[in-house]
Amino acid sequence: MSQGFNTRAVHAGQEPDGTTGAVVVPLYQTSTFAQDGIGVLRNGYEYGRGTNPTRDSLQTQLAALEGAGHAFSFASGLAAEDALIRAALAPRDHIVLGNDVYGGTYRLINKVLSGWGISNSAVDMSDQDAVRAAVAAGGPEGKTRMIWVETPSNPMMKITDIAALAQIARDAGAVLVVDNTFASPYLQNPLALGADVVVHSTTKYIGGHSDASGGAVVLNDTELAEKIGFVQFAVGAVSAPMEAWLTTRGLKTLGVRMDRHCENAQHIAEWLLTRPEVERVLYPGLPDHPGHELAARQMRKFGGMISVQLTGGEAAARSVAEATRVFTLAESLGGVESLMNYPAEMTHASVKGTALAVPENLIRLSVGIEDLEDLLADLAQALDGI
Ligand SMILES: *Cc1c(COP(=O)(O)O)cnc(C)c1O
């Protein structure tokens, strides 16, 4: 990791094409590769589900940006998570996960992988005693083999101490997985803090333009990496060439985009505090956020995501969510355009009625890279209209 982040983002895995000198790695939109004799491959390329040069370039870029030895890219964040869990665990193993993980992650583990014999318990990851107790308790049939955390978490923006969790995981012989989607590798590198595996929904900040779905698993452990590579090939939830190409294109500008996301978000969070319609602003860049000091230690900046609780309850939250015009009402996050989300009915509808349910007066903003004045004016008119 001798070069700076932005240099790696632009150049890692992006050598000019060997045949033509094309400066940008081409979109190898092909499902198979000609053989020069039976089993005589050119540069190892055989079949698209196995390997593709466009996907390889993205995987090299992702590994370089997390400071890792291995990266695997998938068709979605959840496909990446599924492959990781199937590769790392076996039936009867137990996962301890944050009680505010992404709703789709909880659904995957609790509704799909439970049928494969994986049990789970959800705890407050910022409470280290609770984590230790849940890890020690294990599952009904087996030991805790994995700890899963998101920091900052979605949508409550809780910050968890990655290095402390890594110690708990090491003591228990479990694998610590950090979902680094919200921070992106520009703001936080969990492997350097002691985590074993990083997962990303590259659909979000890494792709950055809301035009490609994808996911990634990034790690150093070669033995586990081989297992993940096998599941990736054997199951085939790989990123398609076009998606990989778009994601690489987006990832090159992650640093410059993220600087702007963070700058806009900090201003908006401070401005929201001045509004009487606002009960609470959840943004780690605010000094009174409970995770502020920890975030300042383990992240480079505070990110582009803000959650807001409104004094007017559910009705006010719904009203604001539907009234913005520059902020588009949509699921997802991390794109150049600002997005508005009402988690209780949108991104977190899958955890409604469970312990992971989110407050009904909460809206979540993914702050884009537009001009700050336009974003503030848009939020002001939406709040005025409650
Ligand atoms: C979106 C998201 C996922 C799932 O990724 P997909 O690409 O939608 O499958 C996982 N974790 C977090 C934090 C997310 O925001």
Residues 52-75: what's their mean pLDDT?
98
pLDDT at 217 over 70: yes
Name the more confident of 125 and 352. Answer: 125
Q: Which CATH number fits domain 5-251: 3.40.640.10, 3.40.50.10320, 3.10.20.90, 1.10.3720.10?
A: 3.40.640.10
pLDDT at 351 over 80: no
pLDDT at 266 over 50: yes
pLDDT at 356 over 80: no
Atom of ligand 1 lying closest to residue 213 CA = 7
Residue 15: CB atoms within 10 Å: 11
User: What CATH number is given for 254-384 in this structure?
Assistant: 3.90.1150.10
Q: Kindly state the DSSP code that residue 262 receives in the 8-state scheme.
A: H
Say what percent of the chain tops pLDDT 70. 100
What confidence tens digit (pLDDT) does each residue in 239-254 have?
A: 999 999 999 999 999 9
CA of 358 to the centre of ligand 1 (A): 17
Task: Determine if ligand 1 sits within 6 Å of the CB of residue 52.
Answer: no
Task: Determine if ligand 1 sits within 6 Å of the CB of residue 100.
Answer: no
Q: From residue 21, how far is each of 15, 25, 59 by CA, in Å? A: 9, 9, 21
- Write down the mean pLDDT value for the chain: 96
CA of 201 to the centre of ligand 1 (A): 5
Q: Kindly state the DSSP code that residue 232 receives in the 8-state scheme.
A: H
pLDDT at 274: 98
Atom of ligand 1 lying closest to residue 334 CA = 15
What single letter denotes the amino acid at residue 18? G
Question: CB neighbours of 234 closer than 8 A, spacing ≥ 6?
Answer: none
CATH 3.90.1150.10 region(s) of the chain?
A: 254-384
Task: Determine if ligand 1 sits within 6 Å of the CB of residue 366.
Answer: no
The structure tokens listed for 80 are 């990446």
Task: Determine if ligand 1 sits within 6 Å of the CB of residue 343.
Answer: no
Closest CA to 215 of 53, 105, 349, 95: 105
Residue having the nearest C-alpha atom to atom 11 of ligand 1:
102
Question: CB neighbours of 16 closer than 8 A, spacing ≥ 6?
Answer: 22, 23
Task: Determine if ligand 1 sits within 6 Å of the CB of residue 359.
Answer: no
What confidence tens digit (pLDDT) does each residue in 151-195 have?
A: 999 899 999 999 999 999 999 999 999 999 999 999 999 999 999
CATH 3.40.640.10 region(s) of the chain?
A: 5-251
Residue having the nearest C-alpha atom to atom 8 of ligand 1:
77
pLDDT at 347: 82
Residue having the nearest C-alpha atom to atom 9 of ligand 1:
77
Please identify every residue annotated as catalytic. 49, 102, 179, 204
pLDDT at 112 over 70: yes
pLDDT at 355: 74
Task: Determine if ligand 1 sits within 6 Å of the CB of residue 77.
Answer: yes
pLDDT at 91 over 70: yes
Q: Helix (H, G, I), strand (E, B), or coil: what is residue 94? A: strand
pLDDT at 2 over 90: no
What confidence tens digit (pLDDT) does each residue in 127-156 have?
A: 999 999 999 999 999 999 999 999 999 899
Atom of ligand 1 lying closest to residue 104 CA = 4
CA of 149 to the centre of ligand 1 (A): 13
Task: Determine if ligand 1 sits within 6 Å of the CB of residue 181.
Answer: yes
pLDDT at 188: 98
Task: Determine if ligand 1 sits within 6 Å of the CB of residue 107.
Answer: no
Q: Which of 181, 210, 332 should be mutated for ligand 1, with most atoms under 8 A from CB?
A: 181
Q: What confidence category does residue 1 fall into, taking pLDDT thresholds of 50, 70 and 90?
A: very low
What confidence tens digit (pLDDT) does each residue in 284-343 have?
A: 999 999 999 999 999 999 999 999 999 999 999 999 999 999 999 999 999 999 999 999
Residue having the nearest C-alpha atom to atom 6 of ligand 1:
77
